[in-house]
Chain A
C-alpha cells in the first residue's frame, strides 16, 4: 500500500545506500542489509549501476518483493558525480500471485449471457445482455446481486458467491433463479474478484449464462484425477494453487540467494558466493518453469481459444523490444526493430502475440553472442502478416529444427536458461490464433523465427 507517495534514497559512488526513506530502508533491512551497506535489492542495484554507467537519468518500472508481497513501483535514478539519487513513486504492493492468472471465466465474452458487475457490497453497478441473451430485468441499478438473482445452494448447502465474498476470491458455478417478465429462468453465475491499485477489494465482475433447458445435467467437471482429490488436473484452479504455492517461496529463495551472491553483508568465501549465484540462477529457472507450466495447463485445456484482436505486429514488436531492451543492452546486443511508422496490421490476441514475441526475442538475446545484432522485420505475404526475429547465434541444424518446438526440447542444452516449453507454447499460441511459428536456420548462421498471423487490411 502506498504510504509515502515519493520514496527517496541516495547511494554513494560505491553503491552503498547512504540515506533512505523508511519504506526503502525497511526493504533494504528485510533483504539483510542496512544504511551504509550496498543496495541489497538486485534489480534496483542493477538500475543504479546502469544509470551510473550511462551517466543519464533512467526511469523504469520496478518489481521487487518483501516477505509478504510483490512490490510494483516506478523508479527514477538520477546519477551524479558522488553517486545517485533514487526516487520511487507509485509504490504499490500486491499479493504474491501470478499476474497473468487467467480469469475464472471469460467474463468478456457473453453473446448468450449477461455481463454483470457489482461493488464490494454486492450492489449491481452494471448489467448488460449479450446479443443472443434474454433481456435483462428492469430496475437492476444498485440492487443487491443476491436480490436480483435468487441464489441456489450447491450440494453441500453452500453458496459459491458468498464464500467468494468472504474470501474476496473468484467463483464459478453459482446456480441462480431469476424472473424475467414473469418467466423464471435458471442461470449459472461466475465472477472474478476485482481489486484497486492499493489491493482493496472493489467487487466482482462476471457473467450469468442461461442453463440448458435439460435440467439436472451436472456441471462439466472434466477428468478427475484421484491423486488430487476432487480437483482435476485440467481445472484452472489446480494450476493457480500450484502456482501460488511455488511462486512465493521461489521469489524469496532468489532474493536471498542474490543478496548472498552479491556479498551485500560483507565478504564471504568466493565458492560460497558462487553457490549462492547458482541457487539464484536455478531459482529463476524454476520460476520461469512455473510460469510456463501454468501457461501450458491453460492452453492445453479443451476449448482454449485466443481472442481475435485487431493488432499491429510492428507495434507489438516495438513493445517487446522496449521490455527486453535493457537485457540486450547488458550484453551489448543491438536490436534493429521496426521503425515507429512501420505498420503490419493483423489479427491475433494482443497479449498472446506479445508473449510469443517476448519468447522469441528473449531466446535471441539469450543465445546471441555479446556485441552482436538482432533484427526484427515485419512483412506480408498474401493474407499472412509476418514478423521475423533473426539473430547471430550459433544457429540450429536442419534435423533439430523439426524438434525445436517439442515440449521440453532444449536441443541438448543443459544450462538453466529455459524450460524447453517456451517455443512449444509459442507455436501452440500461434496456431490457436490461426497462425504459425516457423524456424529457418543453419549452423553458424543464426536463427530466424517467423510468426505468421492472418493479415488485416489497415
Chain B
C-alpha cells in the first residue's frame, strides 16, 4: 500500500514573518488605501508605551516596566484592538497641533521694556469663565509627558479599556512572579482602586463640559469657538465641539481630523459658527499630510 502523504503546508512561520505576512495581506486587501506613515506608527506606539508605563506604576511600583514592554513588543500588546483607536486619535491630534504650532509665530516683537514690577500673575481674582478655561488647559497639559510627548491621561481613558489594560498588566506581572497569592490579592485591589480613582478624577471631558456650560450660560459659545479657530487653539475647539455634541474629546478630535470639508459644518453645527469662521480650520486640516479622510479610500490630506 502506498504511503499516503498529506501536506501540512509550510512550517509555522516565525512571529516576525507572520506579522509581515499579515501586514502584506492587509495591504493586498486594499492596495490603494492610505497606509500608516512611520510618524503615525511611532506616535501611536509611544502613546501606548507611556500609557502602559503609567498604569503599571499605578498598579505596583515594583513592576519591571521595561521587561513588561519588551515582552509585549515581542509578543504583541494585549488589548491592541481596543487600544489602537485611542492611541491613533491622540497621535493624530498631536500631529495636527504640532503642525499648527510649527507654523505659528515663535517670537513676538518686544514691547517697550518696562521696569521689573511685582508679578501680576495669579493675583487678580479669576472669573468663572477664566477658571474653567484654565482648568481645561491644565487637563490638556496632563495629556503630555515631561518631555512634551503626547500621552493619554488616565482620567481620559475609556473605563472599559482602563480595566482591560490593568488586568493585562496584572496578569503579566503575576505570570512573571509565578503566581504569588498575596501579590495577586494586592494587584486585584490595585485594579479596583485605580478604576475607582478614575471615576472621581476630572479629565478633559469633564473640564470641557464645565467650560461649555459656562459659555452657554454667558451666551459666549460661538464667539469663543470662533476665536479658538482663529488662534488655532484646537484643544478648545475640540473640547467645546465634544461637549456640545455630547461626545468624548478623543472621539471629536478624530472626527474633525478625518472629516471631509463638507462635513465640518455638520460636526460643528452646535457651536453655531458661520462658514467664514471655519476657513482657518479647513486650511489647517487640508495641510495635514496623510490624513485618513472619512469615506476616502486613498486617505489623503494633501493640498492640490
Please give the residue numbers on chain A whose beta carbons come within 8 Å of chain B beta carbons, in ascending order. 2, 4-6, 56-61, 72, 74, 76, 89-90, 94-95, 97, 99, 101, 103, 107-110, 114-115, 117-119, 121-123, 125-126, 128-131, 133, 141-147, 151, 153, 157-159, 162-163, 165-170, 192-193, 195-201, 309-312, 315, 319, 322, 341, 343, 345, 350, 458
Q: Specify the chain A residue showing the minimal Cβ separation from B46.
A: A310
**How many chain B residues touch A (Cβ–Cβ < 8 Å)?**
56
Q: Specify the chain A residue showing the minimal Cβ separation from B141.
A: A126
Asked if A144 meets B119 with Cβ closer than 8 Å, knowing A5-B280, A95-B107, A196-B231, the reply is yes
| Cα distance, A109 to B147, chains bound together (Å) | 6
- Which chain B positions have C-beta within 8 A of A315? 37-39
Do residues A163 and B108 form an inter-chain contact, with CB atoms below 8 A? no
Do residues A101 and B121 form an inter-chain contact, with CB atoms below 8 A? no
Q: Specify the chain A residue showing the minimal Cβ separation from B290.
A: A315
Q: Specify the chain A residue showing the minimal Cβ separation from B228.
A: A196
Do residues A310 and B42 form an inter-chain contact, with CB atoms below 8 A? yes
- Which chain A positions have C-beta within 8 A of B117? 162
Q: Which of B97-105, B187-195, B210-218 lies at the interface with chain A?
A: B97-105
Q: How far is the CB of B128 from chain A (nearest CB, A)?
A: 14
Does B168 interact with chain A (Cβ within 8 Å)? no
Does B116 interact with chain A (Cβ within 8 Å)? yes
Do residues B38 and A311 form an inter-chain contact, with CB atoms below 8 A? yes
Write out, one digit per residue, whether chain B residues 266-304 have a CB within 8 A of any chain A CB (1) or not (0): 000000000011011011101101000000000000111
Do residues B104 and A197 form an inter-chain contact, with CB atoms below 8 A? yes
Do residues A167 and B119 form an inter-chain contact, with CB atoms below 8 A? no
21 A-B contacts, Cβ less than 8 Å apart? Answer: A2-B230, A5-B280, A72-B103, A74-B286, A89-B280, A94-B104, A110-B147, A118-B121, A121-B122, A122-B121, A123-B134, A130-B147, A145-B119, A145-B122, A153-B116, A169-B108, A192-B106, A196-B231, A198-B231, A200-B231, A322-B302
- Which chain A positions have C-beta within 8 A of B231? 196-198, 200
Asked if A197 meets B141 with Cβ closer than 8 Å, knowing A97-B107, A123-B134, A311-B38, the reply is no
| Cα distance, A74 to B100, chains bound together (Å) | 13
| Cα distance, A341 to B100, chains bound together (Å) | 26
Do residues B146 and A59 form an inter-chain contact, with CB atoms below 8 A? no
Asked if A158 meets B116 with Cβ closer than 8 Å, knowing A5-B277, A117-B141, A143-B122, the reply is yes
- Which chain B positions have C-beta within 8 A of A341? 27, 35
Do residues A312 and B280 form an inter-chain contact, with CB atoms below 8 A? no
| Cα distance, A133 to B131, chains bound together (Å) | 30
Q: How far is the CB of A231 from chain B (nearest CB, A)?
A: 16
Do residues A162 and B104 form an inter-chain contact, with CB atoms below 8 A? no
- Which chain A positions have C-beta within 8 A of B141? 117, 125-126
Do residues B105 and A199 form an inter-chain contact, with CB atoms below 8 A? yes
Does B71 interact with chain A (Cβ within 8 Å)? no
Do residues B113 and A163 form an inter-chain contact, with CB atoms below 8 A? yes
- Which chain A positions have C-beta within 8 A of B123? 144
Please give the residue numbers on chain B whose beta carbons come within 8 Å of chain A beta carbons, in ascending order. 27, 35, 37-39, 42, 100, 103-114, 116-117, 119-124, 131, 134-135, 137-138, 141-142, 144-148, 230-233, 276-277, 279-280, 282-284, 286-287, 289, 302-304
Q: Specify the chain B residue showing the minimal Cβ separation from A199.
A: B105
Do residues B122 and A144 form an inter-chain contact, with CB atoms below 8 A? yes
Do residues A122 and B122 form an inter-chain contact, with CB atoms below 8 A? yes
Choose one: A5, A166, A195; the contact of B106 (CB below 8 Å): A195
Choose one: A59, A108, A128; the contact of B303 (CB below 8 Å): A59
Do residues B39 and A198 form an inter-chain contact, with CB atoms below 8 A? no
Do residues A162 and B116 form an inter-chain contact, with CB atoms below 8 A? yes
Q: How far is the CB of B245 from chain A (nearest CB, A)?
A: 23
| Cα distance, A261 to B131, chains bound together (Å) | 55
- Which chain B positions have C-beta within 8 A of A168? 108, 110-111
Q: How far is the CB of B8 from chain A (nearest CB, A)?
A: 30
Do residues A6 and B276 form an inter-chain contact, with CB atoms below 8 A? yes
Do residues B287 and A166 form an inter-chain contact, with CB atoms below 8 A? no
Choose one: A128, A142, A162; the contact of B119 (CB below 8 Å): A162
Nearest 3 A-B pairs (CB), nearest first? A122-B121, A144-B122, A312-B38
Do residues B113 and A95 form an inter-chain contact, with CB atoms below 8 A? no
Q: Specify the chain B residue showing the minimal Cβ separation from A142.
A: B134
| Cα distance, A129 to B147, chains bound together (Å) | 9
- Which chain B positions have C-beta within 8 A of A195? 104-108
- Which chain A positions have C-beta within 8 A of B113? 163, 166-167
| Cα distance, A239 to B280, chains bound together (Å) | 33
Given contacts A121-B124, A200-B231, A319-B289, 11 further A-B contacts (CB under 8 A): A5-B279, A72-B103, A74-B303, A76-B304, A90-B280, A95-B109, A99-B106, A142-B134, A195-B104, A197-B230, A458-B38
Do residues B111 and A90 form an inter-chain contact, with CB atoms below 8 A? no
Do residues B284 and A97 form an inter-chain contact, with CB atoms below 8 A? no
Q: How far is the CB of B295 from chain A (nearest CB, A)?
A: 20
Do residues B284 and A90 form an inter-chain contact, with CB atoms below 8 A? yes
- Which chain A positions have C-beta within 8 A of B35? 341
| Cα distance, A187 to B279, chains bound together (Å) | 44
Asked if A125 meets B116 with Cβ closer than 8 Å, knowing A74-B283, A90-B280, the reply is no
| Cα distance, A12 to B9, chains bound together (Å) | 69
Q: Specify the chain B residue showing the minimal Cβ separation from A351.
A: B102
- Which chain B positions have C-beta within 8 A of A311? 38-39
- Which chain B positions have C-beta within 8 A of A122? 119-122
Most chain A C-beta atoms within 10 Å of own C-beta, residue among B116, B230, B232:
B116
Asked if A128 meets B145 with Cβ closer than 8 Å, knowing A5-B277, A122-B122, A311-B38, the reply is yes
- Which chain B positions have C-beta within 8 A of A163? 113, 116
Do residues A129 and B146 form an inter-chain contact, with CB atoms below 8 A? yes
| Cα distance, A310 to B43, chains bound together (Å) | 10
Q: How far is the CB of A46 from chain B (nearest CB, A)?
A: 16
Asked if A2 meets B280 with Cβ closer than 8 Å, knowing A95-B107, A121-B122, A158-B116, the reply is yes
Choose one: A5, A109, A123, A162; the contact of B122 (CB below 8 Å): A123
Q: How far is the CB of B46 from chain A (nearest CB, A)?
A: 9
- Which chain A positions have C-beta within 8 A of B144? 126, 128
Choose one: B124, B134, B287; the contact of A74 (CB below 8 Å): B287
| Cα distance, A347 to B237, chains bound together (Å) | 35
Q: Specify the chain A residue showing the minimal Cβ separation from B304.
A: A59
- Which chain B positions have C-beta within 8 A of A129? 146
| Cα distance, A415 to B302, chains bound together (Å) | 35
Q: How far is the CB of B283 from chain A (nearest CB, A)?
A: 4
Do residues A145 and B146 form an inter-chain contact, with CB atoms below 8 A? no
Do residues B38 and A345 form an inter-chain contact, with CB atoms below 8 A? yes
Do residues B108 and A89 form an inter-chain contact, with CB atoms below 8 A? no
